[in-house]
Amino acid sequence: MNVAASLADISPNNLEAYWMPFTANRQFKAAPRLFVSAKGMFYKTREGQDMLDAAAGLWCVNAGHCREEIVSAVQAQVATMDYAPAFQMGHPAAFELASRVSAIAPGDMDHVFFTNSGSEAVDTALKIALGYHQANGQAGRYRLIGRERGYHGVGFGGLSVGGIVANRKSFGPLLNGTDHIAHTHNLDENAFSRGQPEWGAHLADDLERVVGLHGAATIAAVIVEPMAGSTGVLVPPKGYLGRLRKICDKHGILLIFDEVITGFGRLGESFAAGKFDVLPDLITCAKGITNGTVPMGAVIARKHVYDAFMEAADGDNTIELFHGYTYSGHPLACAAGLAALNLYRDEGLFERAESLSGYFEDAVHGLKSSPRVIDVRNIGLVAGIELEPREGKPTARAFDAFLELYERGILVRTTGDTIALSPPLIVEKAQIDRIVETIDEVLKVID
């Protein structure tokens, strides 16, 4: 076979071979939306239109696109060492990045296990939780508890503890021994709350119901997003996370915060655990760790979790955790991560997000009077604008708004009938105004 000749026959814009993730492939390929470059707050489309990024790519480009500091660091690394094995070997940047991440993590969260995505971070954290209890002589703790409407990636562990029906329904049966506590979304009580809702701390008590059903001695861990992003920006009620922490402590259950979205400045702190002053046992993160430049994720563990594995191992030559990935701590990802952390620090981007949060809050709540808006939720530099669904056609109105906003040069994220906003932390007030004003204009013209 003449490979060169066959490659020459392939159209550079043949869309059919690529099976796109979380996408209506037939609809997209009939009217594709293609980005060809990015810089700062903007993408550029194939047609040459500048697209203001109100979604930080996919919740991940916190410092803005194509930052020279990150680009240069990755270029230098790939020219120096493209890959290093992670099993029984190491390279300096992985240890440096782990130290830098643990330094900005709350409390005694002082050990970092690298993965390649948020999904892998979740499955890793779940395995660590199970292994922790085995190391402590409590192998009977095998149950993993998630939350309704939770999103924890697309691995089998993450799907099993996740609570978004559309993500689960085609792939069952999933892992045995999982269950879910109630979600916190309640429009009757909390519609148009600014920041954390006043009502709903008691919803954490649903964990007591699950404990009563299964027995505390069978439960290894509870995993929640401090702020649930992919299900539509659900902000935790005041006191809810602290109450959940106390119940876990009472019953010897590990608490895992999925901070794949909230980590690295989205809420104005390095992690949501610091924002809400609640210390989990494990944190999963990804996205902003490299500013989205190179795929990477991580699990951050508290000292007592790490120590349990070290103390249970039979001798110094024993592998304490039989788990890992070919690309754990990949040199390019570490270079991107270190450069991203430098940018966050040197430009004060976490503090900038906090300082802009009040302006952002006022702006998005100005949409309360826009047509068909039934709720606005916000915290830090993230917001959800929930629309009244069309009868018999859930998600359609928000998706039509997404398409119209794209035509007008604004990129947003939609989930269900909610428009989600999470602009890069470098966003300017004038750009916040443009995003909100354009959403208002679009809501006035779509059905």
Q: For residue 117, is pLDDT > 70? A: yes
Helices (H) then strands (E): counts for the chain: 17, 15
Crossing angle for the helix pair 118-135 and 303-312, nearest 10 degrees? 60
Task: Report the CATH number at residue 181.
Answer: 3.40.640.10
Is pLDDT of 71 > 90?
A: yes
Token pair recorded at residue 4: 């060169």
User: E strands of 170-210, at which residues?
Assistant: 178-181
Q: Which amino acid is at 69?
A: E
Mean pLDDT of 22-45: 96
Tell whether 430 is covered by a domain: yes
Per-residue pLDDT tens for 334-346?
999 999 999 999 9
Q: How many domains does the chain have?
A: 2
Please check whether residue 275 is in contact with residue 381, taking contact to mean a CB–CB distance below 8 angstroms: no
Mean pLDDT of 107-126: 98
Same domain? For 278 and 419 the reply is: no
Lowest-pLDDT range of 162-171, 222-231, 339-348: 162-171
Residue 253 has pLDDT above 70, yes or no: yes
Percent of the chain with pLDDT over 70: 97
Domain for residue 244, yes or no? Answer: yes
Amino acid in the structure at residue 214: H
Pairing relationship of beta strands 143-147 and 373-379 according to DSSP bridges: unpaired
**Distance separating alpha carbons of residues 168 and 228, to the nearest angstrom:** 17
CATH code at position 63:
3.90.1150.10
pLDDT interval class at 5 (50, 70, 90): very low
How many other C-beta atoms lie within 10 A of the C-beta of residue 398?
26
Confidence of residue 9 (pLDDT cuts 50, 70, 90): low
**pLDDT band at residue 176 under the 50/70/90 scheme:** very high
Could you tell me if 225 and 201 lie in one domain? yes
pLDDT band at 389, cuts 50/70/90?
very high
Q: Which residues of 173-190 are buried (b: 16+ CB within 10 A; e: fewer)?
A: eeeeebbbbbbbbeeeeb
> How far apart are the C-alpha atoms of 256 and 162, rounded to whole Å?
13
Whether 432 is covered by a domain: the verdict is: yes
- What residue has token string 């035509």? 407
Asked whether the beta carbons of 365 and 194 are under 8 A apart, the reply is yes
Parallel, antiparallel, or unpaired for β 297-302 and 254-258?
A: unpaired
Are 328 and 270 in a shared domain?
yes
11 pLDDT more than 70: no
Mean pLDDT of 201-224: 98
Contacts (Cβ under 8 Å, ≥6 apart) of 426: 40, 41, 63, 64, 347, 349, 352
What is the reported pLDDT for 61? 98
pLDDT at 258: 98
What is the pLDDT, as a whole number, of residue 1? 45
SS3 of residue 23 by DSSP:
coil
Q: How far is CA 33 from CA 40, 47, 292, 362, 400, in A?
A: 20, 9, 20, 31, 14
Question: Is residue 310 assigned to a domain?
Answer: yes
Residues 285 and 302 in one domain: yes
Residues 115, 175 within the same domain: yes
The answer to the question of residue 58 being in a domain is: yes
Q: Are residues 341 and 376 in the same domain?
A: no
Residue 388, in any domain of the structure: yes
Using pLDDT thresholds of 50, 70 and 90, give the confidence band for residue 423.
Answer: very high
The residue-averaged pLDDT of 131-135 equals 98
pLDDT mean over 371-392: 98
| 245 and 364 fall within a common domain | no
With H, G, I as helix, E, B as strand and everything else as coil, classify residue 115. strand
Helix axes 68-80, 331-346, angle to 10 degrees: 150
Task: Report yes or no: 300 and 102 within 8 Å, Cβ to Cβ.
Answer: yes
Mean pLDDT, rounded, for 22-29: 96
Query: If you search the block for the tokens 């890069």, which residue do you land on?
Result: 424
Q: How far apart are CA 79 and CA 344, in angstroms?
A: 25
pLDDT of res. 316: 84
The residue range of the domain holding 116 is 71-346
230 and 123 inside one domain: yes
Task: Give the end of a domain, one of 346, 364, 379.
Answer: 346
Strand 254-258, strand 219-224: pairing: parallel
d(Cα 204, Cα 340) in Å, to the nearest integer?
35
- Quick check: 415 and 231 in contact, CB under 8 A? yes
Residue 196: inside a domain, yes or no?
yes
C-alpha count within 13 angstroms, C-beta hemisphere, residue 119: 7
Q: Which two tokens stand for residue 116?
A: 């390649």
**Residue 118 identity (one-letter amino acid):** G
Q: What is the pLDDT of residue 172?
A: 87
Does 209 lie in the same domain as 141? yes
The residue from 313, 346, 379 where one domain ends is: 346
Distance of alpha carbon 101 from alpha carbon 96, whole angstroms: 9
Q: Do 146 and 289 fall into the same domain?
A: yes
> Other C-beta atoms within 10 Å of 76: how many?
11
Q: Are residues 84 and 105 in the same domain?
A: yes
What is the tens place of the pLDDT at every residue in 278-297?
A: 999 999 999 999 999 999 99
pLDDT at 432 over 80: yes
pLDDT of residue 12: 61
The predicted structure's pLDDT at residue 7: 45
- Domain-embedded: residue 6: no
Over 50: is that where the pLDDT of 24 sits? Answer: yes
Mean of the pLDDT values across residues 28-50?
96
420 neighbors 387 (Cβ within 8 angstroms): no
The span from the first CA to the last CA of the chain, in angstroms, equals 54
Whether residue 301 is found in the same domain as residue 439: no
Q: If you average pLDDT over every residue of the chain, what do you get?
A: 96
pLDDT digits (tens, 9 = 90+) for 352-373: 999 999 999 999 999 999 999 9
pLDDT confidence of residue 381: 98
